Amino acid sequence: MNRHFVFHGSFLIVVGILAVMYNPHTQSLGFNSDAKSGLIVSGVFALISFFWAFLYSRGAHRIAVIGGFITTILLFAGTIPRAFGAWTGYAGGDTAKWYAGTTISLIIFGSIPLFASLWRGLR
């Protein structure tokens, strides 16, 4: 389980950095100030995932699994509506929303394996 937490945290950091590296409005590489919140959210949840990995490595397996499960549900609760809004905006004609929708969807789909592992760990 420890490697799941570490991989998830690393994945979130990479996606957060990718979110601010491309500006879909100018269609060029560079700092995207509209994606600062995505970098902050992915960074915070990555740190929390690393914290659960630390607790798990110290023998607090049950606490780490329950905490990780709750944290992942909170991540889903915040990102699924945001992804839905981005994809709805893209479908409505705002072509710049595809990048936000893609990066947020990456976070969701990348979190599913951890969620499944945590679900199995709760039993």
What pLDDT score was predicted for residue 87? 95
Q: Helices H, strands E: what count in the chain?
A: 4, 2
Determine contact, residues 31/22, Cβ cutoff 8 Å. no
pLDDT tens sequence across 45-68: 999 999 999 999 998 999 999 999
Residue 35's pLDDT band, with cuts at 50, 70 and 90, is confident
Q: How many domains does the chain have?
A: 1
Residue 64: name the closest of 72, 56, 75, 74 by CA.
56
Residue 43: name the closest of 18, 73, 76 by CA.
18
Q: Structural domain of residue 87, as residue ranges?
A: 2-122
Q: Is the pLDDT of residue 2 over 80?
A: no
Q: Assign residue 37 a region (left: φ > 0; alpha: ψ between -120 and 50; beta: otherwise).
A: alpha
Distance separating alpha carbons of residues 120 and 123, to the nearest angstrom: 6
